[in-house]
Structure 1
């Protein structure tokens, strides 16, 4: 098969790394890709939302399967573009259609979906600039901390958790009146704060059957001890040590099953990944958010634990035969630590040469924000590299990841030294 992956991050490198291991993968393309994907696939320098260019690439290279990495093209309807195009309609796309992608594209849509299907989540209300005063009143009824979420896509930065009521009101005004997050904050969801420990569960569905993939936990904040600004993710661990069989059964019965059934009930065709962001409150799971694709850097610990041929798995999704797949999961723990650019998640410089790849032992280095310039690998983003390792437990795996990340060098490299501190 000729396969095209859309995206340029660590998630896409991890998917490419896994697909490349399959004897069924003939030619692998990544658009636009990065320096890591360039070593195992052919990068094509086009944007993930340039559907006409994607069509050209698909037809020119006789692509048999398209795997969509990031959320943007899904929310913008890339799957629908294929279905509505006579030349592309028979080429399978892994990723939901536009209507279902609203689970991530709109926080309000996701909340209404959860309420409709009795899926446990925090109490909430939605507000626009027209009822800003009502938003202030709702905040006054809640206890601190206050959770404000931009309704639309805000590149992972549209969620604010604030301890001060007046600050929460100011931020609500900034989001609605001053368009702090652009169009994404035309509507703002305010919800009650849930106290507990977070984890992620990944589901792959063909619209009928589904498979629950390994659990993972990522670390969003830039500073050790989970302090400082939110990032796209500084590291991840899979499986999550506190998920026993009883808790996993609750997740399955209360969240996973009603989510997949809800998609069918609401006539939302779905072939792809569902990322379910959960919080464990006491012994009960509550849904914080849905994503309509794999998370990053969780992909870098979930994909390496799947033993199956991923091309076969995706073929089964395309043909709605996922129930026939016996999913095999590596019993070992996988951990990843993210090396980021100095200054990230604020301003940072690109184009810093990266060295040390040849010294890595017993770890996999997934590229996130990199490119090749003058035959050298240089930084090209805030999150640069993810160093993934296996171990019998998360401590053993992390030890390998940290030993190897110390061998990698670029100007102002930064990484958290406490991944797994709360486990």
Structure 2
């Protein structure tokens, strides 16, 4: 089996490692990939520069399956899955229309409301005046850019000053480009990330996770793409998981079918566990990052064949099995992140990490060593039979890695427990 994974970050590094460890032992290629990904044994490079050249390369190189790692290509031009279908390559990722579940917050909110899926109240806005009218002096409030923003297009605003600052960034400075804005009710409670593998009307809920979005300990500071995650089947008890399935996951999959969106691939549910029950905050049309890095080591069996069969409309849950333990992912971020990021700092200590997996996100090979080359640099992931064991190992191993200006939260896996 020959698989092409689309993406380049830590999530794709983890996904490709998991695919390579599948029982079917596929040959895996990655576009655009990274230097670290291409050092994985059996992970080849793709000679392409855009969506159309990627499709041509996959056709010429007899690719059996395309897996969408990152979200952007799903809504680029005609859409990755749509173009794969045109040339007869199964794609584990949703078509362009279904990918609007992530690409447009307003589309997703209307979907939730149409199918009676529990969520917060919201209003779509075209300009600052409409947004201020929708906020109506109620704080805290949540503001969301209606488009893809690499996980940084959401602001929880405790007061008018914070809201005005974000509104100016989005609607005046156009930090994320043109687009509308969603003003949303601020839900309160612990968050949980639920992942489902979806193939039409069939789905399988995978191991849940919890991520930590703020840059500083205690959930302080601005949002990031994610500073760490913890994953386990024990993160939510069976009663809660049944309620999440019955009230959110099953109605979502049924709604996708009813709306003829033909969803195939991983579907992320960002949930808030409120005092009135679980409510959905957002959908993502792929695995979360860094949740993927935490979840993948807990999955065994044949992930490659599972994705291939699912992409063909034949979901086979029996191909996967799940470790009942815990997995903790610690992110090491560069100086200045998330407002900016500094590149070129030499990374040391990687060779000393013995009891954890290392996934590269923003790194570059230089003079035989690794340097920083992005905001989130590395993910250090460790597992254990207990949460305490996994937390202790992950932080101990992460502490062995050094670079100037490194940022790491020491409360990953500890806060909210």
User: What TM-score does the superposition give when structure 1 sets the normalisation length?
Assistant: 0.93
Counterpart-to-counterpart distance in 1, 2:242 and 2:320: 18
Query: Tell me, what secondary structure is at the counterpart of 2:304?
Result: helix
Once the two structures are TM-superposed, the CA of residue 283 in structure 1 deviates from its matched residue by 5.7
SS at match of 2:99: helix
Moved more, 359-368 or 26-35: 26-35
Q: 1:383 to 1:169 in 2, by over 3 A?
A: closer
SS of 1:199's equivalent?
A: strand
Please say if residues 140 and 165 of structure 1, whose CA atoms lie closer than 8 Å, have aligned partners that are also in contact.
no
In structure 2, the CA distance between the partners of 1:16 and 1:134, relative to structure 1 (3 Å rule), is: closer
Q: Which residues of 2 match residues 160-199 of structure 1 at below 5 A?
A: 160-165=155-160, 167-169=162-164, 171-172=166-167, 174-183=169-178, 186-199=179-192
1:146-295 equivalence runs, <5 A: 146-165=141-160, 167-169=162-164, 171-172=166-167, 174-183=169-178, 186-239=179-232, 243-282=236-275, 284-295=277-288
Q: Residues of 1 paired with 2:59 and 2:161: CA distance?
A: 55
What is the CA–CA distance in structure 2 between the aligned matches of 1:202 and 1:414, rounded to whole Å? 28
Supply the distance in 2 between the matched residues of 1:355 and 1:3 (Cα, whole angstroms): 33
Q: In structure 2, how many angstroms separate the alpha carbons of the residues matched to 1:384 and 1:403?
A: 18
- Conserved? CA contact 1:211–1:327, under 8 Å: no
For structure 2, the 5+ residue unaligned runs are none
TM-score (ref. length: structure 2): 0.94
Measured in 2, the distance between the counterparts of 1:335 and 1:74 equals 29
CA distance in 2, matches of 1:348, 1:169: 25
Hey, what does 1:99 align to over in structure 2?
Answer: 97
Among 338, 342, 351, the alignment partner of 2:344 is 351
Please say if residues 175 and 181 of structure 1, whose CA atoms lie closer than 8 Å, have aligned partners that are also in contact.
yes
Q: How far is the alpha carbon of 1:135 from its aligned partner?
A: 2.8
Residue 110 (structure 2) pairs with residue 112 (structure 1) = yes
**Pairwise CA distance, 1:247:** 1.1
Contact 2:131–2:181 (Cα < 8 Å) also in 1: no
2:17 is the counterpart of 1:44? no
Aligned residues of 2:198 and 2:266 also touching (Cα < 8 A):
yes
Question: How far is 1:316 from its partner?
Answer: 1.8
Output one character per residue of 1:358-404: Cα deviation in whole Å (capped at 9) or x when no partner.
22112111111123233322222111111111112222101111111
| 2:2 is aligned with 1:2 | yes
